[in-house]
Structure 1
Amino acid sequence: MPGTYLPVKNTWGWSNLTNMVWIDQPLGTGFSAGKPTAKDEIDLAKQFAGFWKNFIDTFSLHGRKVYITGESYAGHYVAYISDLFIKNNDTEYYNVSGIALYDPAIGYPGIDEQASIIPFIDYNKASIPLNDTYMQHLREKSASCGFDEYIEYALQFPPLGPLKLPKGILENGTVVPECDLSSEAINATALLHPSFNAYIVGQPGPLQWDVMGFPYIDYYLPPGYDNPYFNQSEVKRLLHVPEDTNWVICAEDPVFATEDGNDASPPPALPGGPFARVAERTRNVIVAHGALDMVIHLNGTLMTLNQLEWGGARGFSHPPTHPFYVPYHIDANQASWAGAGIFGSWTADRGITYVGVALAGHLLPQYTPSAAFRTLELLLRRVANLSDTAPFTTPEQRDVKQPDVPLGRGTIVAQSQKIIPGLGYGF
């Protein structure tokens, strides 16, 4: 964990619930060996499926249920890989039974990362204290870029119907340069707070050293610690990794072999994309999003899902108002303390559960490990839903008594908490 001198015992390790396999992919990331050759997610998924088949054969794991999880851009990877696994129609190797995504990139970047920036700043005003003049500048640009109007209609439940992209978003889903309000706001906040972390707003200064080198490895290395944890010689030796391998948190070169180095595939949660197909086949998809993530916005992900068609309907029939309950538990050690109680809000329809998680940033399982642990229990079908008040299902926790009190509503239903007259529930 950030700020720790050495590794610490983790009460919330996912291997306490199930068998885990961590995979560095695509080629060019982490400890993976080889030159990137994939041009798009289709190539990538085929390479991954080939590896996975060999892995299953090597360790005689045939017929096991497979759950695939990922964070951030892994929203693309997980959706496309799972879709190919399902298409292979071979449960001996590719028995996908559900997926879980955390703060994922699944839709148009302009929607996921830009359109809801003003509600996000308003919700987190204490951590993003931009002055009135500058906020008025951002509000005027948000309105002129069409973001305000888009939010008003995109977050109605059930959805009002398909919406055109706002004029500040290009047809390919990227933002018009003059409408890149998120970058503006992040840069302006960094002038006030030099150690501001957009991955989890509210983190105090001074800049916190992260043993993984995230996200400031380029300019902050504390004395006597000249490499991230996984690039230390002793760690590489124990993992049987060649000493000359250079591990970095983000690949230094493109991992897609295209002319511009970018992924040639469209985002997965667009019409005709793999995300909807995986949801329809598994009926077990979880999308969890941290409320403090300024890189990909909670409302942006919700708007993307609310425009998606799956299972014969569009979006969610109800807003995320159900309380997300994280059970009270025994803290095994101080190094892995984690919270309990009402931790956010969720909604679900036709096999997709969306949950907004309080106190979490972009790296949700790191920032709120007990909350992430509960979502994994739901993925594994150990609990009925995210309002289930049963204890955690591990032997150490399953007898912990829970308070017998009404849960009420969720705690982060929206980021502006505004009801739009005549249109029902709005954000």
Structure 2
Amino acid sequence: MATAARWLLPQSKHKPLIPALVLLVFASQSLCCYSAGSSEQERDRVAFLPGQPRSPQVSHFSGHVTVNEKNGRALFYWFFEAQEQPAHKPLLLWLNGGPGCSSVGYGAASELGPLRVSTFAAGLEFNKFAWNKEANLLFLESPVGVGFSYTNTSSDLTSLSDDFVAEDAYNFLVNWFKRFPQYKDREFYISGESYAGHYVPQLADLVYERNKDRKANTYINFKGFIVGNPITDDYYDSKGLAEYAWSHAVVSDELYDQIKKVCDFRASNWTDDCDKAMSTIFRQYHEIDIYNIYAPKCNLAQTSVSSSADEALKYSDHEPFRRRIRMFSGYDECYSSYAQKYFNKADVQIALHANLNGMHPGKWQVCSDSILRSYNFSVVSVLPIYAKLIKAGLRVWLYSGDADGRVPVIGSRYCVEALALPIKTQWQPWYLNQQVAGRFVEYHGMTMVTIRGAGHLVPLNKPAEGLTLIDTFLLGKQLPTHR
């Protein structure tokens, strides 16, 4: 398969999970705006997780929300109330990409949640840069088949597409708000990274369109979205990947010249010569981390659950993260293996109401190769959605860690520039702790931000910068322009 989509692709067969209803008694904690749906909320409350620090206290909930009763399809969520004044903070949904990667394993437990999996012990540590300092934070494992999300209809797992995922995510939101009605009128934003560069704007578009039907009683107070290192447009992303590898001395002038001659990235099918040339780029990344080109590479030996390095870089948007060890660099490039170990513990799954009946068909995985392999890629660009929602007046931001070789800043700049928006403020640095934290440009209707020295996972690589970024976005302000 010689298409641009192949570079996102590909694990073991993922079987549907049979749900069960188990009632537990949880610790009594006050819930902001406690109202209708309270019994379901309390059933989902997480009293305490194994290895969770006793201080500070964290108010969180998790469980399944049905999105299709006929097929027995339900998505798993993990929700954290804002650390302070949750009744006055917006609601922020976070989605990870892949397709097939868990927002629990990455977003919540490795990047921006308040409880991060510890690298030194089989437990959790408090993240002082958690995004629930600024918002009530909702993580969703999507699409079905990812993480603890399940279906009782196996054909669902071969029907996945961008439209399918958006519809399920929308149904999740409608039903989640029934369980947590105190958040229904709250300002709502959507965020995510990587292939969520498709999920986020497509869900945003669906919410925007469904909001037009005020009689449906499903109105969501949607205000905007923000995406990080996002897959956006096949042509610009592929062009940017090749150009970034050359401009950052990963590949030779000769190879880059060859790519420019034989590759038409606008074509739905690449030629054999282009396919061969692009494969050469990915082979150069065997020795370094494509997701953070200046960080140490994780060198844990191959295991039976790991694909070969060649297959990982050829097909997968996540594979290098699955062979992880601790390195002394200030950046843990082997992080997700800790999450995979933690969320496979039976007591953890019970505490999260994730697998209470013990009927899970296999190990919980940070990313599912079976989803990647079976996913139906049909959307080549989400830029038309950007143009539509910007015109509608929604707040739209795109940010990019500038050390990411997989979805590089060059490609994202091409994408944003293709929208041909009038410039409001020119490209300029922004600051944190008296240092340049990155650069940004404001257009009329959109902002693009870079984070200096961050890779694909900005909140993990540059947590302080990530927190400043989301705070500024939610407040609708401008990033700091002075030291």
1:62-113 Cα deviation digits (max 9, x unpaired): 21111000110001111111111111125964221110100001111x4213
- Name the SS of the counterpart of 2:185 in structure 1: coil
Q: Which residue does 1:83 correspond to in 2?
A: 205
Question: In structure 2, how many angstroms separate the alpha carbons of the residues matched to 1:284 and 1:121?
Answer: 34
- CA shift, 1:321, in A, is 2.3
Counterpart among 220, 242, 252 of residue 369 in structure 2: 252
Q: Residue type of the partner of 2:428? A: H
Shift of 1:319: 9.1
**Structure 1 residues 264 and 117: CA distance shift in structure 2, 3 A:** closer
Query: 1:253 and 1:290 mapped to 2: Cα distance?
Result: 28
Q: Distance in 2 between matches of 1:107 and 1:97?
A: 23
The answer to whether residue 388 in structure 2 is matched with residue 277 in structure 1 is: yes
- Determine which structure has the larger strand proportion and give its number: 2
Q: What is the 5 A alignment of 1:145-224?
A: 145=262, 168-172=264-268, 175-180=270-275, 181-190=277-286, 193=287, 196-205=288-297, 207=299, 215-216=319-320
Of 434, 443, 452, 1:349 maps to 443
Among 374, 379, 383, the alignment partner of 2:473 is 379
1:100–1:286 Cα contact (<8 Å) kept: yes
Q: Which residue of 2 aligns with 1:161?
A: none
Measured after TM superposition, the shift of residue 244 of structure 1 is 4.2
Q: 1:361 to 1:316 in 2, by over 3 A?
A: farther
Task: Answer yes or no: is 1:232 the counterpart of 2:345.
Answer: yes
1:301 pairs with 2:395: no
Match of 1:104 in 2: 230
Letter paired with 1:95: N
What secondary structure sits across from 1:380 in the alignment? helix
Asked if the contact 1:14–1:20 (Cα under 8 Å) also holds between the matched residues in 2, the reply is: yes
Cα deviation, 1:177-205, whole Å, max 9, x if unaligned, reads 43355541231343xx3xx2101112225
Amino acid at match of 1:325: Y
State the match for 2:254 in structure 1.
137
Determine the structure 2 residue equivalent to 1:164: none
SS of aligned partner of 1:30: coil
More helix by share: 2
Distance (Å, rounded) in 2 between the aligned partners of 1:300 and 1:226: 30
Alpha-carbon distance in structure 2 between the residues aligned to 1:267 and 1:379: 24
Distance 1:177-1:74 versus aligned 2 partners, 3 A rule: farther
Contact 2:438 2:450 in 1 (8 A): yes
Q: Does 1:54 align with 2:167?
A: no
For the residue of structure 2 that corresponds to 1:353, the secondary structure is strand
Evaluate the alpha carbon distance shift between residue 143 and residue 215 of structure 1 in structure 2; reply closer, same or farther with a 3 A threshold: closer
Pair 1:13–1:217, CA change in 2 (3 A):
closer
1:18 corresponding residue in structure 2: 135
Tell me the distance in 1 between the aligned counterparts of 2:210 and 2:338.
46
**In the alignment, which residue of structure 1 is the partner of 2:57?**
none
Letter in 2 for 1:324: W
2:461 aligned partner, one-letter code: Y
1:323/1:386 contact within 8 Å kept: no
Q: Supply the AA of the counterpart residue of 2:412.
A: T
Aligned pair partner of 1:265 in 362, 365, 379: 379
The Cα of 1:359 is off from its aligned counterpart by 0.8
- In the TM superposition, residue 275 of structure 1 has moved relative to its aligned partner by 2.2
Whether contact under 8 Å (1:63, 1:92) holds in the other structure is: no
Distance between the aligned counterparts of 1:117 and 1:179, measured in 2? 11
Does structure 1 retain, via aligned residues, the 8 Å contact 2:245–2:281? no
For 2:188 and 2:339, the matched residues in 1 are separated by: 38
Q: Given the two structures, how large is their TM-score scaled by the length of structure 2?
A: 0.61
Instruction: Give the paired residue count.
Output: 327
Partner of 2:185: 63
Would you say the 8 A contact 2:400–2:450 is kept in 1? yes
CA gap 1:387/1:221 in 2 versus in 1, 3 angstroms = closer
Per-residue CA deviations over 1:36-61 (Å, capped at 9, x if unaligned) read 36543333222222221111111112
Cα deviation 1:118-153 (Å, max 9, x = unaligned) = 444433x3xx4x5xxxx13213213314xxxxxxxx
Name the amino acid aligned to 2:225. I
5+ residue gaps in structure 2?
1-109, 111-116, 307-317, 327-336
Match of 2:464 in 1: 370
The separation in 1 between residues aligned to 2:225 and 2:400, in whole angstroms, is 14
Question: In the alignment, what sits opposite 1:155?
Answer: none
Q: What's the C-alpha RMSD, in Å, of the aligned pairs?
A: 3.1
Are the aligned partners of 2:289 and 2:295 in contact in 1 as well (CA < 8 Å)?
yes
Task: Calculate the TM-score normalised by the size of structure 1.
Answer: 0.68
Given that 1:288 and 1:355 are in contact with CA atoms closer than 8 Å, whether structure 2 keeps it comes out as yes
Task: Write the mapping of 1:319-338 to structure 2, written as runs, cut at 5 A.
Answer: 321-326=427-432, 328=433
Match of 1:94 among 195, 206, 220: 220
Letter in 1 for 2:242: I
Q: Name 2:242's counterpart in structure 1.
A: 117
Percentage of matched positions with identical amino acids:
21
Supply the distance in 1 between the matched residues of 2:321 and 2:293 (Cα, whole angstroms): 19
Query: Which residue does 2:119 correspond to in 1?
Result: 4
1:286 aligned to which of 389, 397, 421: 397
The superposition leaves residues 332-355 of structure 1 with CA deviations (integer Å, 9 ceiling, x where unpaired) of xxxxxxxx6211111121221111
